A and B are shown apart, each in its own frame.
Chain A
Amino acid sequence: MTLALGRHTFGDDDALMMAIVNRTPDSFFDKGATWAEDAAFARVAEVVAQGAEIVDIGGIKAAPGVEISAAEEKARVVDFVARVRSEWPDLVISVDTWRAEVGAAVCEAGADVLNDAWGGADPELVDVAAQWGAAIICTHTGGVTPRTRPYRIEYDDVVASAIADTVAYAERALAAGVARESIVIDPAHDFGKNTFHSLEVTRRLGEMVATGWPVLVSLSNKDFVGETLGMEVGDRLLGTLAATSVCALAGARIYRVHQVVETRQTVDMVWSIAGRRPPLRAIRGLQ
């Protein structure tokens, strides 16, 4: 399906890299490396050079911690979005927020996508997306409150729950006036899920793709990878790429990542195995 992400459109067979850019002092992977605005700006320049189509700018870490007000969140991201918009007009700018108030401010500053990692906690976020012509990412969290960790959450069928909730969210966005091609669903690995849940969602990702809504996966260096392999945060790239391969074969369209180059190579390889992308330059045996 064609994707329209704000002012940018992509073809049916495009797989897109969404590079994570944290304007936080405490996110789990980079631990504040891009907290300073200039460092975050340099990170955007780096991932653009690496070929990322999308940056996902976040002002609040997902894990529990100090409460960040909407005013503080806006202070972290709004002007930064405007600066990135001005420097890279062709870049898709996504903002990781669940708050409608923040969503409106970043759209005004030039954001194209609202990445609601908390599954519709603020019901007015879809209205903001519709009003600004932005795309929206509809995630599954099992109904947990933003910035809480999963605790003894159980599902009869985690994939069925992920499909039911994200599709319902997508239809709510559609009803609110968001364009069909601007709605993306995300099973949200680790969010409201234990490691067994995230592994099952990965194994059965094809069922989410079969809904017809484009699927985003956010696998990068997450705990389900770490727990599966016994790896600390800095050592999860190989496990992340293995999970990425499985999701790519199933047809996930957007990959929210820390490591753009490695993920792109992995997805390109799988995309070609799946017959969705020609090899770059094949001559072996064909001379």
Chain B
Amino acid sequence: MNAPVVPMALVPGVLALLPAHASLEDPVAPLRAACLAAVGRLGPRVRVVASGGSGGSGGRVGAALVAAVGAAVVESDETGVLVVGNGSARRTEKAPGHFDARAEDFDAALRTDLASADPALADELWADVAALGELAGRTLAEADLLYDDLPFGVQYWVAVWGTRDGC
């Protein structure tokens, strides 16, 4: 695969990351730290790609993270691309969408090709994958994977492509 022109990052559209939903104790502190580290590698001008566009909740989460690292959201001439999306929200009994036995395999397939999801199945499994086409051909294996967990039964990944630590 050709090296990307600009670095790209993937974060989940977790609403708890929005400043308006701040708690006294951050329920997503490790995730937030990983997201800020990833977005911080995208340079000063970040194009955000999210399902539902810039007005959707994923777009607002992306914009909030960009603002939190002191960068600006742009439509073009970007120094980095932030893709907002995540795996299934039906991974466990306590998950928002309850347990679905198909969810684990679905997420495993996404790991090897983030743009591979069948939209109808993704819908059934409460996976936010509409923006992942931006990452076509990329795998998590080749990314700098900063976060890979499902703390609430929702599969989150925070990943960066095209940069190395310290760049």
Contact = CB atoms under 8 A, between A and B. Distances in A.
Q: Do A and B bind each other?
A: yes
Interface of A: 277-283, 285-287
A274 B16 CA distance: 20
A286 B24 contact: no
Interface of B: 14-16, 21-28, 89, 96, 152-154
A287 B154 CA distance: 7
A187 B21 CA distance: 36
B14 to A, nearest CB: 6
Contacts of B24: 277-281
Contact of A282 (B27, B89, B152): B27
Contacts of B16: 282-283, 286-287
A283 B96 contact: no
Contacts of A277: 24
Contacts of B152: 283, 287
A280 B21 contact: no
5 contacts: A278-B24, A279-B24, A281-B27, A282-B16, A286-B16
B96 A280 contact: no
Contact of A281 (B15, B23, B154): B23
Provide the main secondary structure of the chain A interface.
loop
A285 B18 CA distance: 13
A279 B154 contact: no
A287 B89 contact: yes
A286 B25 contact: no
B22 A287 contact: no
Contacts of B28: 283
A228 B64 CA distance: 50
B15 A286 contact: yes
Contacts of B14: 286-287
- Nearest first, the 7 closest Cβ-Cβ pairs linking A and B are A286-B16, A287-B152, A286-B15, A283-B27, A281-B25, A281-B23, A282-B23
B19 to A, nearest CB: 10
Contacts of B153: 287
A265 to B, nearest CB: 14
Contact of B23 (A279, A285, A287): A279
B57 to A, nearest CB: 10
A267 B89 CA distance: 35
B96 A287 contact: yes
Contacts of A286: 14-16, 21, 27
Contacts of A280: 23-25
A287 B156 CA distance: 10
Contacts of A279: 23-24
Contacts of B27: 281-283, 286
B125 to A, nearest CB: 14
A118 to B, nearest CB: 38
A148 B26 CA distance: 51
Given A278-B23, A279-B23, A281-B27, 13 more contacts: A277-B24, A280-B25, A281-B23, A281-B24, A281-B25, A282-B16, A282-B21, A283-B27, A283-B28, A286-B14, A286-B27, A287-B15, A287-B16
Nearest to B17: A286
B150 to A, nearest CB: 10
A269 to B, nearest CB: 13
A282 B19 CA distance: 12
Contacts of B96: 285, 287
B64 to A, nearest CB: 13
Nearest to B18: A286
B89 to A, nearest CB: 7
Most buried by B among A281, A283, A285: A283
A278 B154 contact: no
A40 B16 CA distance: 45
A277 B15 CA distance: 19
A170 B25 CA distance: 38
